[in-house]
Amino acid sequence: MLVAPSILSANFLYLKDEVISVCEGGADLLHIDVMDGHFVPNLTFGPAVLQGLSEISTIPLDVHLMVENTDFFVELFAPLKPKYMSVHLESCKHLHRTLERIRSFGISPAVVINPHSNEEDLKYILNDVDMVLVMSVNPGFGAQSFIPFSLEKIKNLKNLILARNANCLIEVDGGVSDKNISLLKDGGIDIAVAGSYIFGAKDRRSAIASLKI
Ligand code: DX5
Ligand code: ZN
């Protein structure tokens, strides 16, 4: 299991120290939630902050775009060369084109689905993405409760990926902790995003370790 701490739950006044704590604590990816105040009712990081983060992080960046105008943000953040860039199925008019554009920058394209979206709608795109991000809370905020039906979606998605022989990982985001990580692993996920669980813990290393099962 790869672990991606979401810095949305970090203490922003000490962001550098917070990032270093999870890099040194064994995290695999740094999950960065970009919000525009339109697609979701919250605002987070712009290019200057991401530039700074990319300079101090010793692990690859995993950028999750929760925005209306996805193509604009893809162009804006592509020069930072994150490992993954995830775009929402719900906000892309021409999803395949956007994913191809992300790949053209040498970035692994990923697609995200909201809790209400049907994983079957990803069927024709699975062979063109390196990862699917399943939202297990409504996007916009940290520290929400895991929505139980997400597990069924993950299992269905895993079967779809196998049926289509797609080379694509499953990441889950929202309400992940040591309480549900075993179920999620059994369901077939490869990457666990966790914000409040990791940044709410004094000992970041052991919180991260508890998810690496
Ligand atoms: C929510 C974000 C998540 C969030 C997860 O919109 O996409 O990455 O930070 O936070 P937790 O792990 O606290 O649910
Ligand atoms: Zn996220």
DSSP string, 141-196: -SSPPPPTTHHHHHHHHHHHHHHTT---EEEEESS--TTTHHHHHHHT-SEEEESH
Confirm if 188 and 163 have CB atoms less than 8 A apart.
Answer: no
Q: Are strands 61-66 and 30-35 parallel, antiparallel or unpaired?
A: parallel
Say what the pLDDT of residue 34 is.
Answer: 98
Parent domain of 146: 2-211
Residue 40 Cα: closest atom of ligand 1 = 6
- How many domains, the chain? 1
Phi and psi dihedrals of 136, rounded to 5?
-105, 10
Say what the pLDDT of residue 23 is.
Answer: 98
Say what the pLDDT of residue 179 is.
Answer: 98
CATH code (residue 33): 3.20.20.70
Confirm if 67 and 39 have CB atoms less than 8 A apart.
Answer: yes
Residue 9 Cα: closest atom of ligand 1 = 9
Phi and psi dihedrals of 56, rounded to 5?
-100, -20
- Select which of 28, 33, 36, 130 is catalytic: 33
Say what the pLDDT of residue 59 is.
Answer: 98
Q: Which of left, alpha, beta for 71 (phi over 0: left; psi -120 to 50: alpha)?
A: alpha
Say what the pLDDT of residue 173 is.
Answer: 98
Residue nearest to atom 4 of ligand 1 (CA): 142
pLDDT tens across the length of the chain (213 residues): 999 999 999 999 999 999 999 999 999 999 999 999 999 999 999 999 999 999 999 999 999 999 999 999 999 999 999 999 999 999 999 999 999 999 999 999 999 999 999 999 999 999 999 999 999 999 999 999 999 999 999 999 999 999 999 999 999 999 999 999 999 999 999 999 999 999 999 999 999 999 999
Say what the pLDDT of residue 22 is.
Answer: 98
pTM more than 0.85: yes
Residue 140 Cβ inside 6 Å of ligand 1? The answer reads: yes
Say what the pLDDT of residue 16 is.
Answer: 98
Residue 57: helix, strand or coil by DSSP?
Answer: coil
Phi and psi dihedrals of 176, rounded to 5?
-85, 135
Say what the pLDDT of residue 33 is.
Answer: 98
If one counts every other C-beta atom within 10 angstroms of the C-beta of residue 54, the result is 18
- Select which of 28, 62, 130, 173 is catalytic: 173
First to last CA, the chain: 6
Say what the pLDDT of residue 26 is.
Answer: 98
Phi and psi dihedrals of 200, rounded to 5?
-85, -10
Say what the pLDDT of residue 30 is.
Answer: 98
What angle (nearest 5°) sits at the alpha carbon of residue 170, between those of residues 63 and 79?
20
Q: Are strands 108-113 and 84-88 parallel, antiparallel or unpaired?
A: parallel
Q: For the purposes of burial, counting CB atoms within 10 Å of the CB of 128, is it exposed (0-12), middle (13-18) or buried (19 or more)?
A: middle
CA dihedral 28, 107, 173, 190 (to 10 degrees): -60
Confirm if 176 and 184 have CB atoms less than 8 A apart.
Answer: yes
Is-catalytic flag, 17? no
Say what the pLDDT of residue 150 is.
Answer: 98
Say what the pLDDT of residue 12 is.
Answer: 97
Is-catalytic flag, 62? no
Confirm if 132 and 167 have CB atoms less than 8 A apart.
Answer: no
